[in-house]
Structure 1
Amino acid sequence: MMYVIENKPDIPFRPIVCSINSITYELSSHLKDIILPLVRKRRSTVTNSKPFVEEIRAFTVSPTDILVSYDVKDLFISIPIPYTINILQDLLYTDNTLPGRTKLNPFQITKLVSFCMMEGNFFHFQGRFFKQKGGAPVGSPLSPVLAEIFMEHLEDRAFSEANQEILPRRFKRYVDDIFVLIQSGREDTFLNFLNGLFPGTISFTIEKEVSGKLPFLDSLEIRSPDRFKTTVYSSVSQGGGTAPWGRCKVLVGRWSENGQLGGVRKPGGHWYAWGRYRPPVGANGTLNSSAA
C-alpha cells in the first residue's frame, strides 16, 4: 500500500506495510488499548478539526502576531523508539489506573512494546523477510500512540526549556501538526529551538500565513481585525482536482517483478497516479527506514 502525501513538495510516496495477521498484530492492538489512556488529555491536543475550529474562533489576535504551523518531517520513521519506550515506562509507573486495565506490570508492558517495535518488527515482501532499521512501522496499531507519547514529551520539553520570550501565545497540536500564534519575528527562532531538541533525529518544517490565511488540518484560518474566521480547506491535487477528503490519498496496488505499481483511481475523485517503487534493501536484508 502506498501513502501519497499531497501537501508535501514533489508529492512523495510512502509505503505502508499492513501488519494485519502478522505475528505482532494482536499483541500490538492489545498493548495499544492499555497505553492509549495515558495520552491526549492536555488542552493543547487537537483530536479533529471541529473542536479546533470552535476554539480558535474565540482566540484574540494582535497586529504583532503571526500565524504559523510546524510539522515534523517523516515523524513515524524518525521516532527514537528506545527513548520513547523509556518515556512510556515512566508514564506507566505513575499511572494509578493501570491495574484496572491490565494485570501486566510496567516492566512487562514495555518489554512487549519493545518486541513489537524492534525485535519482532519483520515483514514479508516478494519472498523475502525484511526488518525496519529505525523508527515506528507505519502500519502497526502501536505506532500512533507511541508517536503521541513522544510528541507530548517533546511539547513538555519545549515549554520547560525554551526562553519564555520566544514561546507562542497559542499552541495547538494534532500529533506532529502544530498550529501556533506567535509574535512576528520570533517564529524562526522557535523553529530553530524545536529542531535543537532532538538534533539529527527530529526535524521540523514551518509554514507561515499568507495574506492573513493559514491552512491547518481541514480548515483554513483567516485573520479578521482581532479574531479568526474559518472555512473548509481542501488541498489541490497535482492533476488540478480537489482532494475529496483530508490531505492525502492512499494508492493500493501490487508490485510486479520489474517494480511497476499499478495506478488506481479513487471512486468519485479527480486524482489518479501510476508509480514505480522498489524498496531499497541493505546488504543484510534490512529495509532502509526512510522507505518504511
Structure 2
Amino acid sequence: MSVVIGEIPERTMSVVIGEIPVRTMSAVIDYHKKCRDLLDDTATYHKLGKRDPTTRYKKELVSVLQDIEKEGGINYITYRRLYPTTETPPKFYGLPKIHKPDTPLRPIVSSIGSITYNSTRFLADTLSPLVGKSEHHIVNSQQFAELIKHRRVEEDEELCSFDVVSLFTSVPVNKALDIILRRLQEDSTLPQRSTLSPTQIVNLLKVCLDCTYFLYDGNFYQQIHGAAMGSPVSPIVCNLYMEHLEQLAISTAPHPPLWWFRYVDDTHTKLKKAHAQEFIDHLNSLDPDIKFTSEKEQDRTLPFLDTLTTIQEDGSLRLSIYRKPTHTDQYLNFRSNHPLEHKLGVVKTLLHRADTIITDPHDRETEKQHIKQALKDCGYPKWAIDKATAPKPPQQNNRNPGTRERDKGRITLPYIKTVSEPLRRIFASHGISTSFKPTNTLRQLLVAPKDKTPREEKCGVVYHIPCNLCEKRSHLKCLDAV
C-alpha cells in the first residue's frame, strides 16, 4: 500500500513511499540519464565493468604505508590508524545545480568507508596549513567585504569574474603533486606538525589521488583525469594548484589585473577595459587542462559568493547581499523536529551576514526586514527572533582561583524532542558537552542517489555485544550488556 506524505500540489513532484508515481519516475530517469552523460565522457571516466578493483588498490596503499613506517615517517599506532580496515567502494552520485539552465549535475564521489578515507583525512590535516598563503586568497564573504569596501573603480576600469570549468575533474594531478612537493620542501613549519618527509607525504598523496575508482548503478568506473570531488584532500589539492596558477597568470600578464581576489576557482577582478580581453586570452593559454569562463559586470554590478558589488557614480563601491534567481527564502522551518539552537542559529547567521557585509545603512535595514519576513513565512515567532538577537549576558566565572575544570568530552546524539534535552542536562552534570543531529529527515527517507551497500559489507557498525547477566546478544536489548 502506498503512503502519501501530506497533500502535494500538482505543480510540484509527487512524494510517495511504496509506489513511484509518473512524475517521480520521470525525474529518476532524467537523473540517471544525466549521470550517464557525465560518465560517457571518455576523457574523464573509464568504465571498468562489474569487477571490484578494491583489493588491488588496497595492496598499493598498504605497501606505501609499510614503506613509510619502515623509514620512520609514522609510528605503529599511526600505521594502524591509516591501515584500511574497511573496503566499501566509493559511490558516485550527482548534485543538481538548480540555478543553472537544464539543471546539470555536479559529479560527487563519496569516499566515506573507502580504503583511502583515513589516509586522505590525515593528509588533509597535514596539507591544509599550506592553503591561504597567497594574498589573493579569500576565506569567506566577510573577509572579502572588508578588503573591498573602501576601494574604487574608475571610468576606464571594469569588474570581471573568472570561473574554472569543472575544476576538480580538470586539475592536472601530476603537476599539482610537483607543486605540493615544492611547497612542502619550502615549509619550515612542517616538522612541527608531521613526522613525514615531503617525499613521503607526496608518495602517499599520489596513491590516494590515483585511487579514483567508484561504483555507480552496479558498475565500476575509473576517473582518469583530475581529482575526485568528495575526497577530503581534493579541495586542498585544487586550492594549491589554483594558487600556483594565479601567481603565474599575474606575474606573466602584459597588463595584470588591478586586483584579483579568489575563492577556490571563483574570482573577483578589476581590469582596465582596454586590457580585459587580452587578460582572458592570457589566462586560457597557461594550462591546456584549465579553462576559464568570464562574467563581466552588468548594470555596474557584479556578484561574488553571496555579495553583490555595485559601482556608484563617484566610483566607490556599495556591497549588498546577492541571491540567485532560483533562491526561494526557504530556511529551516520552525516547526521542524530540530533543536531550538539550530533554529536560533539560522536567525543569528542571516542577521550577522547583513551586519558584516552590507555597507549602506538603508540597504542593511531593508535586508533585515526582508530576513524577518522570510523567517515569519517559515513559522518563526517574534520571540524566537528577539531571543536570537538579544545581547548575551556577561558570563560569570564561578571557578575557584587556582583551579581549572576540564571538559570531559563531547558526544553527539540523535535529536528526539522532549528526550534529548533531559539527556543533555544529565551529561552536563558530569562535565560532558552534548550536541544534537536531526534524524528521520525527508532527505533520508526519499533521496537515495548512491548505490546501497549490502548490510554485511557496511563499516562502522556494532554486530552484537554479549551480556554477562543474560543470554541476550544482539542490538543491545539488555541494558546490563557490557
Task: Tell me which interval the TM-score lies in, with the shorter structure as reference length.
Answer: 0.7 to 0.9
The one-letter amino acid of 1:219's match is T
- Distance of 2:330 and 2:121 partners within structure 1: 30
In structure 2, do the counterparts of structure 1 residues 183 and 7 end up closer, same or farther at CA, with 3 Å as the change threshold?
Answer: farther
Q: TM-score, normalised by structure 1?
A: 0.79
What is aligned with 1:260? Answer: none
Q: How many equivalent residue pairs?
A: 247
1:124: how far off?
2.7
Unaligned runs of 5+ in 1: 258-292
Partner of residue 222 from structure 2, selected from 127, 131, 136: 131
What is aligned with 1:214? Answer: 302
Asked whether the equivalents of residues 309 and 319 of structure 2 are also in contact (C-alpha less than 8 Å), the reply is yes
What is aligned with 1:19? Answer: 111
1:27-46 to 2 correspondences below 5 Å: 27-46=119-138
Asked whether the equivalents of residues 6 and 235 of structure 1 are also in contact (C-alpha less than 8 Å), the reply is no
What is aligned with 1:49? Answer: 141
- Distance of 2:251 and 2:330 partners within structure 1: 39
- Distance of 1:59 and 1:11 partners within structure 2: 36
The one-letter amino acid of 1:3's match is L
1:167: how far off?
1.1
1:127: how far off?
3.4
1:23: how far off?
0.6
In structure 2, do the counterparts of structure 1 residues 7 and 204 end up closer, same or farther at CA, with 3 Å as the change threshold?
Answer: farther
1:203: how far off?
0.6
What is aligned with 1:266? Answer: none
Asked whether the equivalents of residues 115 and 121 of structure 1 are also in contact (C-alpha less than 8 Å), the reply is no
- Distance of 1:233 and 1:108 partners within structure 2: 44
What is aligned with 1:111? Answer: 203
- Distance of 1:66 and 1:99 partners within structure 2: 45
- Distance of 2:163 and 2:330 partners within structure 1: 20
Unaligned runs of 5+ in 2: 1-92, 332-349, 351-442, 452-482
* 1:192-232 deviation per Cα after TM superposition (whole angstroms, max 9, x unaligned): 10000012x11100001111011110010001122100110
- Distance of 1:243 and 1:138 partners within structure 2: 27
The one-letter amino acid of 1:232's match is I
* 1:220-251 deviation per Cα after TM superposition (whole angstroms, max 9, x unaligned): 000112210011001112xx845769xxxx99
- Distance of 1:191 and 1:3 partners within structure 2: 29
Tell me the SS of whatever aligns to 2:187: coil
Asked whether the equivalents of residues 216 and 450 of structure 2 are also in contact (C-alpha less than 8 Å), the reply is no
In structure 2, do the counterparts of structure 1 residues 89 and 24 end up closer, same or farther at CA, with 3 Å as the change threshold?
Answer: same
Asked whether the equivalents of residues 94 and 449 of structure 2 are also in contact (C-alpha less than 8 Å), the reply is no
- Distance of 1:13 and 1:89 partners within structure 2: 33
Asked whether the equivalents of residues 120 and 208 of structure 2 are also in contact (C-alpha less than 8 Å), the reply is yes
Q: TM-score, normalised by structure 2?
A: 0.49
* 1:128-176 deviation per Cα after TM superposition (whole angstroms, max 9, x unaligned): 332211101000001100011100000111122111xx21111101011
* 1:78-97 deviation per Cα after TM superposition (whole angstroms, max 9, x unaligned): 00001100100111111111
- 1 or 2 for the larger relative contact order (CA 8 Å, sep ≥6)? 1
* 1:233-285 deviation per Cα after TM superposition (whole angstroms, max 9, x unaligned): 01112xx845769xxxx99833599xxxxxxxxxxxxxxxxxxxxxxxxxxxx
Tell me the SS of whatever aligns to 2:110: coil
What is aligned with 1:254? Answer: 448
Identity %: 36
What is aligned with 1:90? Answer: 182
The one-letter amino acid of 1:85's match is L
Confirm or deny that 1:230 pairs with 2:314: no
What is aligned with 2:155? Answer: 63
1:187: how far off?
1.5
Tell me the SS of whatever aligns to 2:274: coil
- Distance of 2:204 and 2:447 partners within structure 1: 32
Which of structures 1 and 2 has the bigger CA Rg? 2
Tell me the SS of whatever aligns to 1:222: strand
In structure 2, do the counterparts of structure 1 residues 189 and 207 end up closer, same or farther at CA, with 3 Å as the change threshold?
Answer: same
Tell me the SS of whatever aligns to 2:109: coil
In structure 2, do the counterparts of structure 1 residues 255 and 14 end up closer, same or farther at CA, with 3 Å as the change threshold?
Answer: same
Partner of residue 198 from structure 1, selected from 287, 302, 309: 287
In structure 2, do the counterparts of structure 1 residues 32 and 256 end up closer, same or farther at CA, with 3 Å as the change threshold?
Answer: closer
1:147-226 to 2 correspondences below 5 Å: 147-163=238-254, 166-199=255-288, 201-224=289-312, 225-226=314-315
What is aligned with 1:280? Answer: none
- The structure with more helix, counted as a fraction of residues: 2
Tell me the SS of whatever aligns to 1:215: strand
The one-letter amino acid of 2:258's match is R
Asked whether the equivalents of residues 234 and 243 of structure 1 are also in contact (C-alpha less than 8 Å), the reply is no
Asked whether the equivalents of residues 136 and 262 of structure 2 are also in contact (C-alpha less than 8 Å), the reply is yes
- Distance of 1:230 and 1:186 partners within structure 2: 25
